[in-house]
């Protein structure tokens, strides 16, 4: 467990003191997080990190996982796809099974003062509210910008009974009768993926992959699927390569749900075979240090996604002070103010143009990177996430625009 004081050298002792001061007002309240999986996925990852920190602040936080069978998770997977805009067909019986599994879990669980429900899977636990009371929060971690209408209608009948709904990006907000709070995700500056690395480790990893650190390197870290546009990145690289002798690193791993994934993968590999300066690295899930080093050793970092949920890889690059060029989609514009803390682009040509600019003007690129790092320090580190959660809990007990604690 990371001691919370270890974050003080990064965000300042005053920020840590303010967390303790806010937590003082939540003391005595029990916060119960509920989701559908204990391991794997972003929600489990953030809960694993946030709950011990909340406990260190004196907040009584715990975590329960609902039980469901294969049939239940097949339905929730359909929800997930439908909420991301994939056409799905969900039968009446499937909706009923979803409700039934939630009812069974609601009977077995004992509920605390603040019930903090994550994502759609356990959303219907709220049915017991009229009988139990308590304070209920629904936290949506997924992209809700264009949800399937039927699924949204089904979920909304539960969401409206919560005290508050929480979304990760402004575009995910809905027309709802309850307050909606914005809490973007965050990165942990002390995790393997983000912590400082000694130069010799970075050098060693670049040597292992046989990437030449004496020439410029552009890198994109992402899964190899259509939405991350690796072929677009290669096109941008080729445009730049006409003028600058640079290398391209495409690194990532993880499963893709995209049916076109294997086709894209094949094309990426074919392009890489034609050009020795293109490095396609398939990394296993335990490659956080490698990813950290690859980003730190790059000249420019890209995130040329066609669609993004939040796109935390952008925060991860900016935190390392890297000049970053990313598409203006999903949560990325929250992380980059164009030409202030990074570059936002809309096309392959625009991306190529800015790669050239940043490689040829290293002072400007360095300034962008420094601004980007400060922006992440102030807005996207886990300590800010903790503060947002404390405010969220407090908001259940205090009304008004200005709350004097």
Partner 1 sequence: MNGFHFNTKSDQTILLGRKARNLSELLSGLQTVPNSSIYYHTHKYLHQHQYLSPEPPNDFAYWITQALNEQTLGEQISSVDIVQFRTIEELRTTFVRLFQTHLAGTERLPSAPLGQEFHFMTSRIFVLKTPYVARSLEEFREMLQRVSINTLYYHVFDAKLKLEKGDNDFSRWFRDLGNLELAEQVSRLDPYTYTLEGLRNKLIHLVEKYGPH
Q: Which stretch binds partner 1 (CB under 8 A): 194-202, 204-212, 226-234, 323-331?
A: 323-331
Q: Could you give the string, one character per residue 16-55, with x where binding to partner 1 holds by CB under 8 A and - elsewhere?
A: --x--xx---------------------------------
Cα separation, 226 vs 265, whole angstroms? 9
User: Using CB under 8 A, which of 2, 44, 391, 396 touches partner 1?
Assistant: 391
Q: What is the DSSP letter of 187?
A: B
Tokens, residue 295? 């980003």
Residue 72 parent element (H or E): helix 70-83
CA distance 313 to 84: 19
Residues whose CB is less than 8 angstroms from the CB of residue 278 and which lie 6 or more positions away in sequence, other chains included: 234, 237, 247, 248, 250, 271, 272
Our finding on whether 392 is near partner 1 (CB under 8 A) is: yes
Residues binding partner 1: number (CB under 8 A): 47
- Closest CB to partner 1 among residues 171, 197: 171
Query: How far apart are the C-alpha atoms of 196 and 175, rounded to whole Å?
Result: 42
Handedness of CA 142, 144, 150, 156 (dihedral sign): positive
Q: Classify residue 321 as left (phi > 0), alpha (psi -120 to 50) or beta.
A: left
163 is a contact residue toward partner 1 (CB under 8 A): no
3-state secondary structure of 321: coil
Site membership for partner 1, residue 333 (CB under 8 A): yes
Least separation, in Å, of the C-beta of 3 and partner 1? 21
Q: Site for partner 1 (CB under 8 A): which residue of 7, 111, 167, 237?
A: 167
Considering the complex, what minimum distance in angstroms separates the CB of residue 209 from partner 1? 34
Stretch that binds partner 1, among 63-71, 107-115, 116-124, 333-341 (CB under 8 A): 333-341
Asked if 398 touches partner 1 (CB under 8 A), the answer is yes
CB 212 within 8 A of CB 201: no
CA distance 380 to 377: 6
Pick from 192, 178, 176, 167: nearest CA to 388: 167
Look at strands 324-327 and 300-303 and give their pairing: parallel
When asked if residue 388 is in the footprint of partner 1 (CB under 8 A), the reply is yes
Residue choice 38, 74, 182, 263 for contact with partner 1 (CB under 8 A):
182
Segment lying near partner 1 (by CB under 8 A), choices 200-208, 209-217, 267-275, 339-347: 339-347
153 in contact with partner 1 (CB under 8 A)? no
What length is written for the chain?
405
Nearer to partner 1, 233 or 368 (CB): 368
CB of 152 to partner 1, least distance (A): 13
Q: Are 382 and 187 in contact (CB under 8 A)?
A: yes
The count of C-alpha atoms lying within 13 angstroms of the C-alpha of 257, restricted to the half-sphere facing its C-beta, is 7
Closest approach of partner 1 to the CB of residue 106, in Å = 28
> Applying CB under 8 A, which of residues 89, 131, 270, 401 lies at the interface with partner 1?
401
**Is residue 360 close enough to count as binding partner 1 by CB under 8 A?**
no
- Does 345 engage in binding with partner 1 (CB under 8 A)? no
Q: What is the DSSP string of 124-149?
A: GGGGGHHHH--EEEEE--S--SS--H
Distance of closest approach, residue 358 Cβ to partner 1, in angstroms = 18
CA 373/CA 11 separation, integer angstroms: 12
The verdict on 329 binding partner 1 (CB under 8 A) reads yes
- Round to whole Å and give the CA distance between 203 and 389: 39
330 binds partner 1 per the rule CB under 8 A: yes
Q: Which stretch binds partner 1 (CB under 8 A): 74-82, 273-281, 294-302, 326-334?
A: 326-334
Q: Which residues bind partner 1 (CB under 8 A)?
A: 12, 14-15, 18, 21-22, 145, 167, 170-171, 173-176, 179-183, 328-330, 333, 337-338, 340-341, 344, 346, 371, 374-375, 378-379, 387-388, 391-392, 394-395, 398, 400-405
């Amino acid at each position: 467990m990371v001691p919370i004081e270890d974050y003080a050298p990064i965000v300042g002792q005053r920020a840590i003191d303010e967390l303790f001061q806010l937590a003082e007002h939540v003391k005595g309240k029990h916060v119960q997080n509920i989701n559908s999986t204990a391991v794997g996925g972003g929600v489990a990852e953030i809960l694993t990190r946030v709950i011990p920190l909340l406990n260190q602040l004196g907040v009584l936080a715990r975590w329960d996982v609902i039980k469901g069978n294969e049939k239940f998770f097949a339905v929730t997977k359909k929800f997930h796809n439908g909420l991301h805009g994939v056409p799905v067909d969900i039968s009446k019986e499937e909706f009923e099974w979803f409700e039934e599994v939630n009812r069974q879990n609601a009977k077995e669980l004992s509920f605390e003062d603040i019930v903090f429900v994550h994502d759609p899977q356990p959303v219907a636990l709220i049915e017991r509210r009229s009988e139990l009371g308590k304070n209920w929060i629904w936290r949506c971690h997924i992209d809700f910008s264009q949800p399937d209408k039927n699924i949204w209608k089904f979920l909304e009948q539960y969401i409206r009974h919560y005290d508050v709904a929480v979304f990760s990006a402004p575009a995910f907000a809905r027309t709802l009768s309850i307050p909606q709070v914005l809490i973007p995700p965050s990165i942990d500056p002390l995790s393997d993926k983000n912590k400082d690395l000694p130069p010799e480790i970075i050098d060693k990893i670049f040597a292992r992959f046989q990437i030449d650190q004496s020439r410029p390197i552009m890198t994109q870290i992402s899964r190899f699927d259509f939405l991350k546009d690796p072929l677009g990145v290669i096109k941008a690289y080729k445009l730049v390569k006409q003028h600058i002798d640079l290398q391209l690193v495409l690194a990532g791993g993880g499963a893709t749900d995209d049916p076109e994934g294997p086709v894209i993968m094949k094309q990426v590999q074919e392009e890489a075979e034609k050009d020795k300066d293109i490095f396609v690295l398939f990394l296993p899930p335990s490659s956080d240090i490698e990813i950290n080093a690859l980003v730190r050793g790059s000249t420019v970092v890209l995130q040329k996604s066609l669609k993004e949920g939040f796109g935390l890889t952008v925060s991860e690059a900016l935190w390392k002070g890297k000049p970053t060029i990313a598409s203006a989609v999903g949560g990325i514009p929250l992380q980059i103010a164009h030409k202030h803390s990074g570059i936002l682009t809309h096309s392959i040509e625009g991306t190529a143009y800015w790669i050239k600019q940043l490689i040829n003007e290293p002072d400007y690129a360095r300034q962008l990177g420094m601004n980007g790092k400060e922006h992440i320090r102030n807005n996207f580190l886990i300590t800010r996430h903790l503060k947002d959660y404390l405010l969220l809990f407090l908001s259940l007990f205090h009304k008004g625009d200005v709350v004097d604690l």
